[in-house]
């Protein structure tokens, strides 16, 4: 990372305004759904597991008593950032988690939408264009489930903004938070790290290695507290989540006996990868490559995603969001004037 930080603002007022509009819209959907179908509807899919962790983020896993056999206690605790944010907002009070978990979720939407608008504005487009990134297919099928996909995509954009403006420490902090939200999001950091490997810039690589320390410390804590490493949790074996490329989840599109839901999800996976590759080739920006890197995880989706295609669609959301932002945030013909009006270099 360069050593001279930029003095450009992270976001501007109009970016925040549009981000708040997006967050308010999602909050309205959540309230409507909860009013009509009950709060439990928001806890479908993995949201129920994040809710349990938020109730007892430093517990020994007994909060998962009665859960199904494939839940995976240590595995669920391994992705701690989102439920921990809800616990912190609740000041450790369990009775407040039903309020603070949705608040953490909406905050993730706010973070992503605001940074998407800011990135479009820096590219010379109107900030409101960034809101179009929220219209990706997986978003329609995921909102308003209380899961951290928007938060993950927002943290990726935050990491890249800090990196692009040469702010080394904030970059590493944002990246560390990203890994605490989901360890597989390390794929999104590849476009930032690989160039240092190619140039054999060992000091830069040493700095990047610090990013993994908080996650490793948390894993050690879980090993002592629960008795198993998150990535070796027998309740959520890696063999169910991952498979050889093209052999598991994605192969459903050419099997005659595939159920319609799985056919749709696998087809969406192929489309996500194809569009990600096209946008990366077209835009050639770091965020475009980050989106494609995230989409590459779909190639190794395994039996678990094939059995629960809705989960697979949800897991595609961060990649789709990043790909959409990369496609939208390109310089238009009037970019110089627009950036001059905003005071952006």
Domain ranges within the chain, ordered by starting residue? 13-342
pLDDT of residue 341: 41
CA torsion through residues 64, 73, 217, 112, sign: negative
pLDDT of residue 204: 93
Burial class (CB in 10 A: 0-12, 13-18, 19+), 284: exposed
pLDDT of residue 268: 96
How far, in Å, CA of 26 to CA of 23, rounded? 5
- Residue 3 has phi, psi (to 5 degrees) of -100, -15
pLDDT of residue 172: 97
How far, in Å, CA of 245 to CA of 249, rounded? 9
CB atoms within 10 A of CB 235: 17
Please list, in sequence order, all residues whose beta carbon lies within 8 angstroms of the beta carbon of residue 225, skipping any fewer than 6 positions away: 58, 59, 60, 61
pLDDT of residue 333: 40
pTM reported for the whole predicted model? 0.92
- Residue 242 has phi, psi (to 5 degrees) of -125, 155
pLDDT of residue 345: 41
pLDDT of residue 61: 87
pLDDT of residue 67: 66
pLDDT of residue 233: 85
CA neighbor of 143 nearest in space, from 54, 14, 34 = 34
Write out the chain's pLDDT in tens, 345 residues. Answer: 445 566 667 899 999 999 999 999 999 999 999 999 999 999 998 999 999 999 999 998 888 876 665 566 888 999 999 999 999 999 999 999 999 999 999 999 999 999 999 999 999 999 999 999 999 999 999 999 999 999 999 999 999 999 999 999 999 999 999 999 999 999 999 999 999 999 999 999 999 999 999 999 999 999 999 999 998 888 777 777 788 877 788 888 888 788 999 999 999 999 999 999 999 999 999 999 999 999 999 999 988 888 889 999 999 999 999 999 999 998 744 334 433 443 444
């Amino acid at each position: 990372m360069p050593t001279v930080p930029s003095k450009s603002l992270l976001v501007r007022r109009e970016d925040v305004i549009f981000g708040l509009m997006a967050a308010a819209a999602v909050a309205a959907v959540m309230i409507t759904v909860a009013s009509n179908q009950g709060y439990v509807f928001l806890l479908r899919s993995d949201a129920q597991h994040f809710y349990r962790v938020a109730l007892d983020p430093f517990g020994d896993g007994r909060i998962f008593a009665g859960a199904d056999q494939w839940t995976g206690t240590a595995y669920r605790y391994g992705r701690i950032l989102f439920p921990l944010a809800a616990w912190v907002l609740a000041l450790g009070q369990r009775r407040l988690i039903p309020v603070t978990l949705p608040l953490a979720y909406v905050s993730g939407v706010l973070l992503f939408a605001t940074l998407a608008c800011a990135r479009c504005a820096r590219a010379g487009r109107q900030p409101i264009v960034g809101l179009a990134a929220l219209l990706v297919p997986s978003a329609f099928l995921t909102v308003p489930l209380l899961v951290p996909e928007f938060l993950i995509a927002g943290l990726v954009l935050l990491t890249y903004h800090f990196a692009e403006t040469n702010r080394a420490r904030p970059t590493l902090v944002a990246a560390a938070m990203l890994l605490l939200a989901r360890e597989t999001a390390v794929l999104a950091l590849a476009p930032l790290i690989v160039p240092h490997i190619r140039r054999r810039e060992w000091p830069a690589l040493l700095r990047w290695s610090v990013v993994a320390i908080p996650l490793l410390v948390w894993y050690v804590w879980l090993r002592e507290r629960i008795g198993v490493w998150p990535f070796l949790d027998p309740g959520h074996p890696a063999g169910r989540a991952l498979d050889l490329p093209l052999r598991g989840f994605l192969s459903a599109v050419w099997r005659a006996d595939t159920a319609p839901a799985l056919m749709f999800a696998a087809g969406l996976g192929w489309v996500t990868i194809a569009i990600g590759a096209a946008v990366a080739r077209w835009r050639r920006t770091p965020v475009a490559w980050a989106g494609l890197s995230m989409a590459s995880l779909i190639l190794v989706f395994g039996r678990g995603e094939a059995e629960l295609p809705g989960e697979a669609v949800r897991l595609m959301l961060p990649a789709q969001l990043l790909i959409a932002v990369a496609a939208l945030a390109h310089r238009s013909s009037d970019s110089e004037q627009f950036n001059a009006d905003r005071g952006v270099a």
